[in-house]
A and B are shown apart, each in its own frame.
Chain A
Amino acid sequence: MQRVFEKIVKGVFDTQRRHFEAGGRLQRLYPFFEAMETVFFALPDTTRSGPHVRDSLDTKRFMAIVVFTLVPLLFFGLYNAGYQSRLASGMSTDLLPVIWQGAWIVLPLVIISYAVGFFWEILFAVKRGHLISEGLFVTAMLFPLTLPPTTPWWQAALGISFGIVIGKEIFGGTGRNFLNPALTGRAFLFFAYPAQMSGDAVWTVVRGAGGRAVDAFSGATPLAVAQLADGVHSVEAALSKAGYSFSRLFLGLYPDSIGASSALLCLLGAIVLVLLGVASYRIILGDILGMLAMGYLLNIIATETSMPYLSLNPFYHLVMGGSAFGFAFMTTDPVSAPDLNAAKWAYGFLIGALTVLIRVFNPAFPEGVMLAILFMNVFAPLLDEIVLRGRLKKRVPNV
């Protein structure tokens, strides 16, 4: 069985190879051919000198693991988008129609993201004469998961373009970018098209109501609800009144970005990534500790007259909005995170703390995690430098 399959796949690549090799019609697309072929067939290249033996891990598997852990979020997001859409449109929420509608909402955005992402990656790979780096597979998957389901297709194309070109390629491509490319694209859309990226109406695709939510449907996100609560210790109650109990926020069946709503799936993804050694547990724990510490600090300084948001139980911060998704998949991007272990703790802690600060004190930005991560991306080299200097002080010099 496997032999036959191998023969068929080999046949496909062997017959198509000539089009992509030098002199072929599609020779410019060779990096694409190579990227596809190496998905099925590992390279035959061997070492020339010592170390003669090399680790079996390569960046392809490294990135494939991240994509693999994102797939459950994609499916849940697809279901959730369809479910919320049919609920708001007053249609039945049977499984099959929900999935059908969700697929129509989500898959085009994912396909656009991959198609446009590949276009830019191939363009730069051909111009620079290198092969496609697998970071693209992750970026093009992360990006649509951060989008509201109502995002126009052209905006998705523009966002991923900005993320890949400005967030990554102009600095030299994967490995040389200092910002997370997917988040850079998302931030671009957030600031360039605020009408389509924020507010209460963008999180659910409503059909048959002229694009407007029907009366029975309240589209306010948990973050917006939390901001508008009145009275100390009333935030949890306000959330729960709006239908956002802790368990619902944790499970994620509510209107939100496509892939970011389920804290449970993010947690499972993070655990898999840490167990497989792909994500740094230091960053993730730092994120969580920072968020809880800042949340409790705000609890302590909250008074009768201060903003009610200050008194929110910090664990709600972990499950609301995109923080779980950001912590599990965005902060752990090794390229834009610091390199040294101590710096990773600090990086995570500061991201968690900043997220809470932005959410609570800046009404213009209900979601703080995106800005917090991009902000700390910029500071990652500085954190490394501080840690490095501390290490070198203890080292016996050798020059």
Chain B
Amino acid sequence: MKHLRIKKGHSPKIDGSPSMAVDTLPRPERVALLPRRIPHVIPRLLVDTGERVAIGSPLIEDKRNPAIRFMSPGGGLIERIAYGPRRVITRIVVRLDDEEDRVLRDPVGARDLEKMTRADLVQRLVEGGLWSFLKALPFRDYPAPDSVPPAIFVTLGSLEPFQPAPEVYLEDQGPLFSLGLMILKKLAADPSTVYVSTAARSAAAIKPVVDGALTHLYDGPYPAQDPGVLLYCIRTTAEQNRSWFIDGQDLLMLAEYLLSGIYPTRRVMVAAGSRAVVRRHLRTRLGVPLASLGAEQKARKDTRCVVGGVFSGYTGSADSYVGLYQTSLTLLPEGNHREFMALFNPGLRKLTYSRAFLSALNSADMEADCNLHGGLRACIACGHCNEVCPVDILPQLTYKAVLAGEVEEYLAIGLLDCVECGLCTYVCPSKIDLAATLRDARAAYYREQG
């Protein structure tokens, strides 16, 4: 087991972290699939309003590769298909029946899996709609089913505020987890390149479950958990840049699907943030309404519902649903007011990376809001983004190279190594959204590559 000490990055001290207590939520009335929140995919509808669907029956397919389908997280009636600007499909809402139907496929046990060929395994995962839980660096799209990864990273836990703790979702899941690892070892070119990583401080809690599977422990600030950051620390060749990764909870879903033959819908999520009434872990299912996680009881004015992490999540309305890959709801104050004399405030409780406030000496958690805390200005080369970037792509330079259209230069500096952590945008005193510029440039480059 290797111990990585990651220095760069930044963990803001945001108030409102969830407790380790776990509640089991009642079954919701409706669940939904949000095609817009699935990156890269160009969805084609396979169902219509009023049709009946079962758990695991396909709702959409990817126009780029129709074999990749996204399944219904519930059994019942398609109540509504909502569209956004430019006819983008925002959500497919299923009203659940009392007794939900399930699509049943042949179960595969550990012994069958050993005998299975790799191609059969891939076929089965694609068929079941679970292939897209695997992701490939550097673009974080699902990998081509016929490709073979140089390495696969399993990430247990996230340092982003606020995400489910691995010790919660791994509890009593030891057999499923080892079956999951068997799947990955079959998919990888070499079984020794399946890497399982977690934060050093949560290692003790999950060791009984994952046994000897852990290969890497890391110490460091957000986003040290990101597979892109770990890869940056351990890579030796350019080929490794095409490694795959999967989140621990998603790996359990892969295993559960093989074992039962049923599309799994279990999810552990968290409700957190300074505006959340109860901050805790929740046992619930895929695509639940935000209201069931606590959005509605706090739907008072000026509260933002962030679905999936303060840095990488999206803004959901209180009547919306959780996306396929998101596992948290964070409620934060909007902060849309004019603060009087903010410029002269010594700032004992101001959230900041810099040392320009007294809060630099304050180790307590601080209330974070969604105010920009400043106006948009030109880059003054303060270098904060260079200091926090976990993969040293010098965002200040990359960003300028992107704006100047210097393709060779920004690729050489390392645009594709960007892990989209959003820290460069977070720290920028000129309030430039560097992360968005870099993300768009990466997406454009990906599209160009075909």
Pair B310/A51 contact, Cβ less than 8 Å: yes
Q: Out of B12, B337, B351, which one reaches A44, CB within 8 Å?
A: B337
Pair A59/B377 contact, Cβ less than 8 Å: yes
Query: Given contacts A53-B310, A335-B380, A399-B411, is CB(A45)–CB(B371) below 8 Å?
Result: yes
Query: What's the Cα separation between A399 and B442 when bound, in Å?
Result: 11
Determine, out of B61-69, B89-97, B248-256, B427-435, the stretch whose residues face the partner at the interface: B427-435
Chain A 47-90 per-residue mask, 1 if CB under 8 angstroms from chain B, else 0: 11111111111111110110000000000000000000000000
Pair B429/A44 contact, Cβ less than 8 Å: no
Return the chain A residue nearest B416 by Cβ. A398
Pair A42/B343 contact, Cβ less than 8 Å: yes
Closest Cβ–Cβ distance, residue B377 to chain A (whole Å)? 5
Pair B340/A6 contact, Cβ less than 8 Å: yes
Query: What's the Cα separation between A59 and B373 when bound, in Å?
Result: 10
Pair A43/B375 contact, Cβ less than 8 Å: yes
Total interface residues on B, CB under 8 Å, equals 78
Q: Out of B334, B339, B370, B427, which one reaches A42, CB within 8 Å?
A: B339
**B270 at the binding interface (Cβ < 8 Å):** no
**B218 at the binding interface (Cβ < 8 Å):** no
**A175 at the binding interface (Cβ < 8 Å):** yes
Query: What's the Cα separation between A93 and B383 when bound, in Å?
Result: 46
Pair B379/A55 contact, Cβ less than 8 Å: no
Query: What's the Cα separation between A337 and B383 when bound, in Å?
Result: 11
Q: Which residues of A contact B369 (CB under 8 A)?
A: 46, 53
Query: What's the Cα separation between A335 and B14 when bound, in Å?
Result: 31
**A240 at the binding interface (Cβ < 8 Å):** no
**B297 at the binding interface (Cβ < 8 Å):** no
Chain B 377-402 per-residue mask, 1 if CB under 8 angstroms from chain A, else 0: 11111111010000010101100000
Q: How many residue-residue contacts, CB under 8 A, span A and B?
A: 216
Query: Given contacts A53-B351, A57-B357, is CB(A46)–CB(B412) below 8 Å?
Result: no
Q: Out of A42, A58, A175, A276, which one reaches B381, CB within 8 Å?
A: A175
Chain B 410-450 per-residue mask, 1 if CB under 8 angstroms from chain A, else 0: 01111011000011011111110001100000000000000
Interface residues of A in 230-285 (CB under 8 A from B): 275-278, 280
Q: Out of B236, B342, B356, which one reaches A276, CB within 8 Å?
A: B356
Q: Which residues of A contact B430 (CB under 8 A)?
A: 58-59, 175
Q: Out of B241, B339, B343, which one reaches A60, CB within 8 Å?
A: B343
Determine, out of B17-25, B71-79, B80-88, B312-320, the stretch whose residues face the partner at the interface: B312-320
Q: Which residues of B contact A6 (CB under 8 A)?
A: 340-341
Query: What's the Cα separation between A53 and B335 when bound, in Å?
Result: 10
**A25 at the binding interface (Cβ < 8 Å):** no
Query: What's the Cα separation between A41 and B345 when bound, in Å?
Result: 11
Q: Out of A53, A335, A337, A339, which one reaches B397, CB within 8 Å?
A: A339
Interface residues of B in 38-56 (CB under 8 A from A): none
**A153 at the binding interface (Cβ < 8 Å):** no
Chain A 320-342 per-residue mask, 1 if CB under 8 angstroms from chain B, else 0: 00000000000000110101100
Pair A53/B396 contact, Cβ less than 8 Å: no
Pair A53/B337 contact, Cβ less than 8 Å: no
Query: Given contacts A59-B429, A396-B236, is CB(A174)–CB(B377) below 8 Å?
Result: yes
Pair A55/B412 contact, Cβ less than 8 Å: no
Q: Which residues of B contact A391 (CB under 8 A)?
A: 392
Pair A278/B394 contact, Cβ less than 8 Å: no
Pair B378/A133 contact, Cβ less than 8 Å: yes
**B142 at the binding interface (Cβ < 8 Å):** no
**B352 at the binding interface (Cβ < 8 Å):** yes
Pair B370/A47 contact, Cβ less than 8 Å: yes
Query: What's the Cα separation between A62 and B384 when bound, in Å?
Result: 12
Interface residues of B in 298-319 (CB under 8 A from A): 304, 306, 309-315
Q: Which residues of A contact B236 (CB under 8 A)?
A: 396
Q: Which residues of B contact A277 (CB under 8 A)?
A: 354-356
Q: Which residues of A contact B422 (CB under 8 A)?
A: 50-51
**B136 at the binding interface (Cβ < 8 Å):** no
Pair B373/A42 contact, Cβ less than 8 Å: yes
Query: Given contacts A59-B374, A398-B241, is CB(A50)–CB(B314) below 8 Å?
Result: yes
Q: Out of B370, B383, B386, which one reaches A52, CB within 8 Å?
A: B370
Chain A 135-167 per-residue mask, 1 if CB under 8 angstroms from chain B, else 0: 100000000000000000000000000000000
**B336 at the binding interface (Cβ < 8 Å):** yes
Closest Cβ–Cβ distance, residue B141 to chain A (whole Å)? 16
Pair A50/B311 contact, Cβ less than 8 Å: yes
Query: What's the Cα separation between A53 and B374 when bound, in Å?
Result: 12
Return the chain B residue nearest A39 by Cβ. B343
Query: Given contacts A276-B356, A334-B382, is CB(A46)–CB(B335) below 8 Å?
Result: yes
Query: Given contacts A50-B314, A278-B356, A398-B138, is CB(A58)–CB(B412) below 8 Å?
Result: no
Pair A46/B355 contact, Cβ less than 8 Å: no
**B144 at the binding interface (Cβ < 8 Å):** no
Pair A52/B313 contact, Cβ less than 8 Å: yes
Q: Out of B357, B384, B426, which one reaches A53, CB within 8 Å?
A: B426
Q: Out of A50, A54, A334, which one reaches B380, CB within 8 Å?
A: A334
Pair B355/A275 contact, Cβ less than 8 Å: yes
Query: What's the Cα separation between A399 and B347 when bound, in Å?
Result: 43
Query: Which of A60, A172, A337 is packed against the most chain B CB atoms within 10 Å?
Result: A60
Query: What's the Cα separation between A172 and B372 when bound, in Å?
Result: 24
**B238 at the binding interface (Cβ < 8 Å):** yes
Q: Which residues of B contact A61 (CB under 8 A)?
A: 343, 356, 374, 429
Query: Which of A39, A173, A337, A399 is packed against the most chain B CB atoms within 10 Å?
Result: A399
Q: Which residues of B contact A53 (CB under 8 A)?
A: 12, 14, 310-311, 332, 351, 368-370, 426
5 further A-B pairs in the complex, CB-CB below 8 A; given A42-B374, A392-B412: A43-B338, A43-B374, A50-B313, A56-B359, A175-B430
Residue ranges of B at the interface with A (Cβ–Cβ < 8 Å): 12, 14, 138, 235-238, 240-241, 304, 306, 309-315, 330, 332, 334-343, 347, 350-357, 359, 368-375, 377-384, 386, 392, 394, 396-397, 411-414, 416-417, 422-423, 425-431, 435-436
Residue ranges of A at the interface with B (Cβ–Cβ < 8 Å): 2, 6, 9-10, 38-62, 64-65, 131, 133-135, 172-176, 275-278, 280, 334-335, 337, 339-340, 384, 388, 391-392, 395-399
Top-4 shortest CB links A-B? A58-B374, A175-B378, A42-B342, A277-B355
A-B contact pairs, 29 of them (CB 8 A): A46-B336, A47-B372, A49-B314, A50-B306, A50-B311, A51-B312, A51-B425, A52-B310, A53-B14, A53-B311, A53-B351, A54-B370, A54-B372, A55-B354, A55-B427, A56-B352, A56-B359, A58-B373, A59-B430, A133-B378, A334-B381, A339-B397, A396-B235, A396-B236, A396-B237, A396-B238, A396-B241, A398-B138, A399-B411
